[in-house]
Structure 1
Amino acid sequence: MARSRVRSAPSVPAGEPAAAGVAADGEITYPDEHLSPAERYQRSRDVAAHPLLADFSVTRPFVLDEFQIDGCRALEEGRSVLACAPTGAGKTVVGEFAVHRALATGGKCFYTTPIKALSNQKYNDLCAAHGAENVGLLTGDTSINSHAPVVVMTTEVLRNMLYAGSPDLAGLTAVVMDEIHYLADKFRGPVWEEVILHLPEDVQLAGLSATVSNAEEFGGWLQQVRGDTTVVVDEHRPVPLWQQMMVGRRLYDLFSADSQPGAGTGRREPAAHVRIDPSLTRAVAEADARWTSGRDDRRRGGGRGRGVPRGGRGYHTPQWRPPSRVEVIERLDSAGLLPAITFIFSRAGCDAAVAQCLRSRLRLVTDEERQRIRAVVDRRAAELPEADLGVLGFWEWREALERGVAAHHAGMLPLFKQTVEELFVAGLVKAVFATETLALGINMPARTVVLEKLVKYNGEGHVDLTPGEYTQLTGRAGRRGIDIEGHAVVLWSPGVDPRQVGGLASKRTYPLRSSFAPTYNMAVNLTEHLGRQAAKELLQQSFAQYQADASVVGMARQVQRSERTMASDIGKADCDRGDTFEYLDLLTRLSTAEKAGAEAEAAERRAATAIDLSRLRRGDVVEVAHGRRAGLAVVLDPGVNPAEPTIRPLVVTAARWAGRLSEADFRGPVPALGRIRLAKHVNYRSPQVRKDIAASIRNAGIQPLSRRRADSSTSAAEAELTALRAAVRAHPVHGCADRDGHLQWARRIRRLQDEIEQMRRKVDGARHSLADQLDRIAGLLTERGFLDGDKLTADGKTLARIWSESDLLAAECLRTGVWDNLPPAELVAAVSALVYESRREQAGPNRPVRGPAGGAIGKTMRLWAELAGAERDRDLRVSREPDVGFATAVREWAEGGTLGQALDAATAAGQELSAGDFVRWCRQVVDLLDQLVPLAHPDLADACRAGIDAVRHGVVALEAV
């Protein structure tokens, strides 16, 4: 078992001055007495030479670290700065000095963050430090004191201000970009590079980044595009981090005591210099052996472990069972390792963990703390509509908080998340179950971080955590000024190797990679402000281009290595009977044709079924071609209901069964094969009535459709498949005894050929790839009437003012009048298709939307299909397909429905939305409608305003303030 190492420094009571080296907010560095006399003397000289830094230092309740002084000094000397340091090291001090300098010199400073929650938190911090009259906030739906000398904002807001030439940019002297490494984000990262490239040359940049392994490369790019830039890198963790694993209910050190990375110094050691603790290795081996033995016994015993008496009582073979979340928290509590954040890469998992705690007797707070929690919750939730409390799960949420437990994830109501953050920072909530979004910027450090798994779902599949992600998550452990040490705990499960965890904990290779690429909105704005040629030159200055050029030599070398490998392997695919590659091509063509044929046939069958079902009348006789209800049936009720998305006819079969069928019961056309006369009222629940109807079906002499199709002709697609199958069988290689071996080598060589071709294209186009992409985008925009040479048309000026992932489609909808004459609630539903995106893990087929919104969405889909075809023709990334999954829910809400009714409407449309998701998507719909108001004709603008007002009620209105 691990030795107990938890030690705490006394926290500073609110309202009392901090002791040397200890800040009331936990952001401290080592106190002055830890420095040698020579170091103190040199530091005093450095500070004295920089009067603004000296003044700023006096306002800090702690002694600045060396990297903080280096960053602040660079700013005072007029240089930009990139400060890279671990989570909790205090790099925000550099950004706070930029604010201090701007105020002291009569300048203006913008403080940008990637998310609204972090903007709100920083706004409150700066208001406390400099007074609310000197600080503003801009986050899209919130505008407070926007003309102040210091304004906190999301990065997208600053990008929009730069393109619009906002007068508030006048006098701007510095921009702080907190969490600047966010520019690697696939979807929102390009905005950061746009800002960096567009800022006036005389504006200083203070970039604050988590530790990345290519900080020098990133700093080199900033030096090129922003001028003189100082790169400050600090790898020292102010609170040492102990890496541990929990096997069952026991805690073990991950590393041997003499090689613990981060213990004592906070520095990471090379992976080769660290050793896994032998006691952990033994514990994992024993646990793995027990699990393997129990699994094998269960397989042999048909599910019961060997030696387990019937009924499951008495002795049994041990088998692995993960400790419950309650057991883990209780174990941490007994070791003095709370408060803790447990990262669970699933919203449902976080909620389930809290539910487990509620079902147990777990209570982590005192009665006095419980009263304080109740007071905070009552204050925060005072304006929640009482009718929505049940739908929001308010009572369970409050009960969990009053036990010291909470979840934190993007699906929660923002007000709930903010309350959890406040209570956790105050030390009142002891255990939080969170998704990885918590690791981004929000100030919620803990004594311990727990990782349940080392695998997460990234939207497309389950992938292993990277060393960078592991470092970002575990960096939350260790509260500066409170904890002497932090603890990162990984829960063991079968298959988790301590060496794998050790590799994540000790590896330093997590580079920052650009995700920059031109968009339609960016293309028209760059063209309008710079002209086409200057815009291309600007794109060539991006970090993406900088990295692409730097990688050309490496790719060229990889091409050479792959060519040598291919040359040595190509003979291994030879077959003395024929050409293996020719045979492989035939197999590939056959596989592709079979897949395409199956998809086309399935689509054709579904379409034919839907059309025929919509035409059925009472008394029609149809055939159910397969399944338990196969045979002839008579239609009692066609089941066509405009309010329902699917058709479900009520039938009685020749086998005397009565009930409703669905499209899934048919495969292909469902023509009426005949008709029989029915009584005006048919009591199909009566066995005698069903018997009589079945007899009428048999007596009608109607022939099933399957018999009529006996002589159906072969389609062209089937003929092609038959020819391909014959060609495969006739090929000489098909009869070779070593055919599979030849094919394995042939496939390997083809993969190498494809990789070589892709790398060659990258090498050939690296220097001009972004510029070429801009040319292709400009060509499409010219073709569709948004650009005329270097000038924007009226439609192009509209596109330049739409900030959305579906910017061009929104502009097309405006231009073609798709949204004209829609009532406000219908407009809201139609516009939602451009912003909503179903979560991949729950996405199903889109269900049709009824009413005027459905017609508008149909036109939108046709516009998108046309646009997607044009994009494919020009080798551009295809725009995201509109998603109708939110339309009925937001329409229900805009028509005055309750939160419960709106969420029920979402469920009926196949979408499982939480209250937090619902509020977030409503706000995005409002944001796009707000953008459309100044761009639309008067009637549509009025409808947009009315739609905004219709959405802003209840919890949405509360969260929009």
Structure 2
Amino acid sequence: MTALDRFTSLLSFTLDPFQVAACEALEQGRGVLVCAPTGAGKTIVGEFAVHLALEAGTKCFYTTPIKALSNQKHAELAARYGRARVGLLTGDVSLNSSAPVVVMTTEVLRNMLYADSPALAGLSHVVMDEVHYLADRFRGAVWEEVILHLPIDVRLVSLSATVSNAEEFGAWISEVRGDTTVIVDEQRPVPLWQHMLVGRRLFDLFDVKAVRANADAGRTAPPTVLDESLVRHVKQREALDRSVDPGDPRGRGGRGGRGRPPQPRRPIPRPEVIALLDGEGLLPAITFVFSRAGCDAALAQCLRSPVTLTEPEQVEQIGEIIDRHVAEFALGDLELLGYHEWREALERGFAAHHAGMLPAFRHAVEELFVKGLVRAVFATETLALGINMPARTVVLERLVKFNGETHTELTPGEYTQLTGRAGRRGIDIEGHAVVLWQTGMRPQEVAGLAGARTFPLISSFVPGYNMSVNLLDRLGREGAQRLLEASFAQFQADRSVVGAAKRIQRSERELAGLRTQIEDAADGTDYLGYTALRERIRARERELRRDHLHDRAHAAGDALADVRRGDVLAITGGRRRGLGVVVEPATDHRDPKPFVVTEHAWAGRVGPADFVGEVQVLGTMRVPKGADIRSGRGKRDLASSLRNTGIVAPRERPKAARPAADDGVLADLRAQLREHPAHRAERTPGLDRLAERYARLQRETAAQTATVRATTNSLAVTFRRIIALLTERGYLEAVPGVDGGAPDLAPTEAGHRLGRLYSESDLLLCECIDAGDLDDLDAPALAAVVSALVFESRGERGGSILTGERVPHTVRTAIGALAGRWAAIRDAEVVHKLAASREPDVGFVGPMYQWASGGTLAATLLAAGERGQLLSAGDFVRWCRQVIDLLDQIHQVCRESDPELSATARTAVGLVRRGIVALDA
């Protein structure tokens, strides 16, 4: 009997062909990359790796991208193999870490590899769940570091959502880790039906006949034929919106009538959506809202409605599960956290799920949903990251989300990841995805998302300070360079330039042919040299024009930064030529754009591009203090006043200065051109055209070559710049080469400390430790200062100055030192052309000091919130745990070099880890 036979005998279901193929490859000693849709059962391959390790008496590490997934997988494996054989490591939680099977976040494994942890001894398998996370721009590099650093004899099990370049990713893994089998399965175990809810009518997105024809033919690609009734109904709704004002009870037209402009159509209220889905038999459902406030608002709407989704006997079961999850919490804390409303919603079958919730509340929601006791969950997209909460239906309220910087449209990959939650294997025969229509949403857009099959996995790997120090320490400069060259980022870069390199080769062949033709036609005259001289003249003219435009824009910018309210300007460029009066001076002197109203009643901001020549202030006029510059009438009134001032705009448009008139280099080149023999020689017809073609192709080839060089060397260039900065600041030093070879670089004592600090602010923290900036702090103060290195304000509390916070002088002094050292690092990064380090954020300093000093939960949450609102409990616990993690790193790193600071950090950990922070692990 094979190991796979023994494993499957423990299961209550039969494996799918892709699962069998992956497990067989693993049993034969090969690594595997499995790409399959959400809910297809990829993790069973990871569980087989656990089985193999336990049978062989070796170790298996199971890594996940988020702590919630680690906790869930630990519970599953502990239930199967017993808690004595399964451990958990998530940075702030350590359970049975010496067990043969340990579930951990990927960062923990990366840190173990850099530290050469003894726990790596006997490791035979590593499972990397959700490995497509290496595309994450903030944390993705960690996955590549692990893949590159793992001992070569460790079998890697990579589990990924469906990506279109799985073969490329698998080829890279095979190159760096040896024999790897790539298994791609695009067939969902439960078919997914796509719908749109328009008003109170639920439509199929695709034509049902086309869908069934596809299925009957065994095709996995989705159909592209839209449902005609949906398209027709949406057109009717949009036409109605354009013709009738829904706010006018007499139905007057929105165009010519006096009614209000037509208001956009929004989906029906959320409780009605849930009731409609319930009536269609489409619950349980997860509604993705993309904002925490939206999730909470949805829950509040449901509580205000009469909708209830549970039966009396279920309410009792729900209560028992809730009581178990909150048993250790103080009643006062629960009341503060909105416990009673949360419980009432659960007892009626509703819940929210987002990172702002207390983890214990989230875990209760997850358990109740899996058991079918909660039937409608409003969630942010974090729920789509592998947490085992499948539903019959997934609802998308919008196709736009906030990515942390701006609002962006969902990508096809994100749409597939979210809707992949629909359809519970073994329970549902089909899943359903419902998009709520609103004005401006086109069915074709939704079809494009649902039908796309291009989800490429793009590396986000880039070296950082901690990584660079560790690479040099482990591998030396050459070895580090080779490892960077072995990264997936470099692999993709090299592949991406293959096409460009081939185009360059073709261009060079064509250039050689043109060169021969030109030489033959020139009849012994150095016409190629003459052509090169003309190109140098053109390049110099372009350079001078660029410099002139830059200088002109800079001068115009300086002038615009100085204009005042009431100044009348001559706008001499663009479509707004004429007079303009300044209503609001420029506020950003880096990009000065005052707000003006022109004599033609146009209002808006003007910048350097709107002026030819110098910015002219022709005079001034009085602008009334309460001038209405937003309404049409207000702009017309101001424009009329401007025209009546008697100030007249210049009649002629100013001429731009000629930038090349007195340039000595250009004059010398032109003289050389006139004296060149080819300038006076007779030329055969077409020779100039050949020369022009040759010059143009030469420019294009040079540009392509530069692009290829920049692409293939980008990682190496960044690494060299980091090395230069770290050497300059005393973290690296020259050491003799091995066996008398060339000198190498190695970390100094400070560099070794930097190599053990894993944080976005690793270099800043290390500099503060080495300079003694943290030495005078007691434990609460240290926790408060450290919070500035991890906290990220969601609102307006960020910045670099503490205002109104009750913190001691030592904290303010340390924060000041922190800000100064960050500015110095930033200056060095500018010199070395490196991306900016994360700026400290003091938004949590005061609340953290209050909590670590023994403050109450209520007072701390209020101090940490904004505009009188409490900070969410989930955020509070998360930030506290990140502070604990960094404090623990300081404790470990400073044990020998600064025992007093190490002891203070250890004390601070205990002060922060109390109350809900300690309970909700």
Whether TM exceeds 0.5 here: the answer is yes
Q: Which residue of 2 aligns with 1:904?
A: 862
Counterpart for residue 102 of structure 2: 151
Counterpart CA distance in 1 for 2:102 and 2:469 is 28
1:239 is displaced (CA, Å) by 0.3
- Are 1:350 and 2:295 matched, yes or no? yes
Query: Partner of 2:780 in structure 1?
Result: 825
| Corresponding position: 1:959 with 2:920 | yes
- Indicate if the aligned counterparts of 2:244 and 2:251 stay in contact, CA closer than 8 A: no
The answer on 1:95 being equivalent to 2:58 is no
1:307: Cα distance to partner? Answer: 10
Aligned to 2:768: 813
1:883 is aligned to 841
1:755 and 1:295 mapped to 2: Cα distance? 56
Matches within 5 A, 1:699-714: none
260-269 or 483-492: bigger deviation: 260-269
Verify the 8 A CA contact 2:252 2:258 in the aligned structure 1: no
Instruction: Please state how far the C-alpha of 1:767 moved relative to its aligned partner.
Output: 2.7
8 Å Cα contact 2:556-2:615 kept in structure 1:
no
| Aligned residue runs from structure 1 range 778-857, under 5 A | 778-789=723-734, 790-839=745-794, 847-848=802-803, 850=807, 851-857=809-815
**Residue of structure 2 equivalent to 1:280:** 230
Partner of 1:29: none
AA aligned to 1:283 is H
1:950 maps to what in 2?
911
CA distance, structure 2, for counterparts of residue 396 and residue 479 of structure 1: 29
187 and 321 in structure 1: CA distance in 2 versus 1, 3 angstrom threshold: closer
* Residue aligned with 2:615, SS: helix
Question: 2:615 aligned with 1:725, yes or no?
Answer: yes
Equivalent residue, structure 2, for 1:256: 207
Deviations 1:670-695 (A, max 9, x none): xxxxxxxxxxxxxxxxxxxxxxxxxx
Supply the distance in 2 between the matched residues of 1:262 and 1:84 (Cα, whole angstroms): 26
Tell me whether 1:81 sits opposite 2:32 in the alignment.
Answer: yes
Amino acid at match of 2:467: M
- Does structure 2 conserve the Cα–Cα contact (< 8 Å) formed by 1:828 and 1:891? yes
Task: Find the partner of 1:235 among 186, 195, 200.
Answer: 186
Taking the TM superposition and a 5 Å limit, the aligned residue runs for 1:419-498 are 419-498=364-443
Q: Is the 8 A contact 2:289 2:295 kept in 1?
A: yes
Structure-2 residue corresponding to 1:745? none
* Structure 1 residue 267 displacement after superposition: 7.7
* Aligned 8 A contact 2:863 2:870 in 1: no
**1:217–1:951 Cα change, 3 Å:** same
**Higher mean displacement: 849-858 or 910-919:** 910-919
Q: Deviations over 1:613-669 (max 9, x none)?
A: xxxxxxxxxxxxxx9xxxxxxxxxxxxxxxxxxxxxxxxxxxxxxxxxxxx9xxxxx
Match of 1:872, as an amino acid? V
Q: 1:874 aligns with which of 819, 824, 832?
A: 832
- Residue 760 of structure 1, CA deviation: 5.5
Counterpart in 2 of 1:388?
333
Deviation at 1:843, TM superposition (A): 5.6
Q: Distance in 2 between matches of 1:847 and 1:439?
A: 37
Q: Deviations for 1:80-134, whole angstroms, at most 9, x for unmatched residues?
A: 0000000111111111111111111111111100011101111111111111111
For residues 884 and 759 of structure 1, do their structure 2 counterparts lie closer, same or farther at Cα, with a shift above 3 Å needed? farther
* Cα distance between partner residues in 1 of 2:825 and 2:194: 52
Query: Alignment partner of 1:260: what SS?
Result: helix
Q: Which residue of 2 aligns with 1:412?
A: 357
Q: Closer, same or farther in 2 for the Cα pair 1:415/1:600, shift >3 Å? A: farther
> How big is the shift at 1:904?
1.9
Letter in 2 for 1:73: E
Q: Which blocks of at least 5 consecutive residues in structure 2 are unaligned? A: 511-540, 565-582, 588-607, 619-648, 657-697, 735-744
**Residue 772 (structure 1) aligned to one of 709, 714, 717:** 717
State the Cα deviation string for residues 27-62 of structure 1 (Å, max 9, x = none): xxxxxxxxxxxxxxxxxxxxx6xx111111211111
User: Is residue 271–residue 301 contact of structure 2 (8 Å, CA) maintained in 1?
Assistant: yes
Distance between the aligned counterparts of 2:772 and 2:544, measured in 1? 53
What residue in structure 1 maps to residue 8 of structure 2? 57
1-side partners of 2:237 and 2:226: how far apart? 16
SS of the equivalent of 2:865 reads helix
Choose which of 11, 18, 21 in structure 2 pairs with 1:67: 18
Tell me the distance in 2 between the aligned counterparts of 1:856 and 1:754: 54
For 2:178, give the aligned amino acid: G
Partner in structure 2 of residue 938 of structure 1: 899
Question: Which of 173, 188, 193 is the equivalent residue of 2:124?
Answer: 173
Q: 1:800: Cα distance to partner?
A: 0.9
**Cα distance in 1 between the residues matched to 2:563 and 2:887:** 40
Match 2:241 to one of 291, 296, 301: 291
Contact residue 85 and residue 100 of structure 2 kept, 8 A? yes
The alpha-carbon distance between structure 1 residues 900 and 180, as it changes in their structure 2 partners (threshold 3 A), is same
Aligned-partner Cα distance in 1 for 2:651–2:264: 53
Change in 2 beyond 3 A, CA 1:840/1:203: farther
Is 1:342–1:450's contact at 8 Å kept on the other side of the alignment? yes
Once superposed, what is the RMSD of the aligned Cα atoms?
3.6
3-state SS, counterpart of residue 384 of structure 1: coil
Q: Please give the alpha-carbon distance, in whole angstroms, between the structure 2 residues aligned to 1:907 and 1:754.
A: 57
Q: How many residues align?
A: 760
Query: Tell me, what secondary structure is at the counterpart of 1:933?
Result: helix
Q: Given that residues 26 and 49 in structure 2 are in contact (C-alpha distance below 8 angstroms), is that contact kept between their aligned partners in structure 1?
A: yes
CA contact (8 A) 1:236 1:266 kept: no
- Stretch moving more, 342-351 or 296-305: 296-305
SS in 2 for 1:54: helix
Offset, 1:306:
10
- Find the aligned partners of 2:458 and 2:108 in 1 and give their Cα distance: 23
Shift of residue 930, structure 1, vs aligned partner: 0.5
Displacement after TM superposition at 1:294 (Å):
3.0
Q: Give the CA deviation at 1:246.
A: 0.2
> Shift of the alpha carbon at 1:775?
1.5
- Partners in 2 of 1:722 and 1:504 — Cα distance? 46
1:329 to partner: Cα distance:
0.2
**AA in 2 matched with 1:394:** Y
What secondary structure sits across from 2:920 in the alignment?
helix
| Structure 1 position 368 matched with structure 2 position 308 | no
Bigger mean CA deviation after superposition, 81-90 or 928-937: 928-937
Residues 901-958 of structure 1: per-residue CA shift (max 9 Å, x gap): 1122223699973111111011101110100013231221222122111111211111
In the other structure, the counterpart of 2:479 is 534
Q: 1:450 to 1:927 in 2, by over 3 A?
A: same
Residue of structure 2 in register with 1:673 after alignment: none
Name the residue aligned to 2:878. 920
Per-residue deviation, 1:292: 2.0
Give how far 1:233 is off.
0.3
In the TM superposition, what whole-angstrom CA distance separates every residue of 1:246-301 from its partner, at most 9, and x where no partner exists?
00011000000122389857987557x52000111111111112222235986999
Task: Describe how 1:289-688 pairs up with structure 2 within 5 A.
Answer: 289-295=239-245, 320-555=265-500, 589=551, 591=553
Equivalent pairs: percent with the same residue?
57
When residues 378 and 107 of structure 1 are mapped into structure 2, their CA distance, relative to the original with a 3 A threshold, is same
Q: Distance in 1 between matches of 2:504 and 2:438?
A: 41
Distance 1:754 1:111 in 2: 52
- Given that 1:268 and 1:506 are in contact with CA atoms closer than 8 Å, whether structure 2 keeps it comes out as no
Cα deviations by residue, 1:365-392 (Å, 9 ceiling, x for unpaired): 0011111111111110111122222321
**1:126 and 2:77 are equivalent in the alignment:** yes
The CA distance in 1 between the partners of 2:26 and 2:191, in whole Å, is 29
Going from structure 1 to structure 2, the CA distance change for 1:367 and 1:349 (only over 3 Å counts) comes to same
Do the aligned partners of residues 561 and 240 (structure 1) sit closer, same or farther apart at CA in structure 2, a change above 3 Å counting?
farther
Output the CA distance in 2 between the equivalents of 1:378 and 1:293: 55
**SS state at 1:886 partner:** helix
SS in 1 for 2:244: helix
Structure 1 residues 329 and 266, CA gap change in structure 2 (3 angstroms)? farther
Give the drift of 1:822. 0.9
Deviations 1:167-208 (A, max 9, x none): 111111110000010111111110010000000010000000
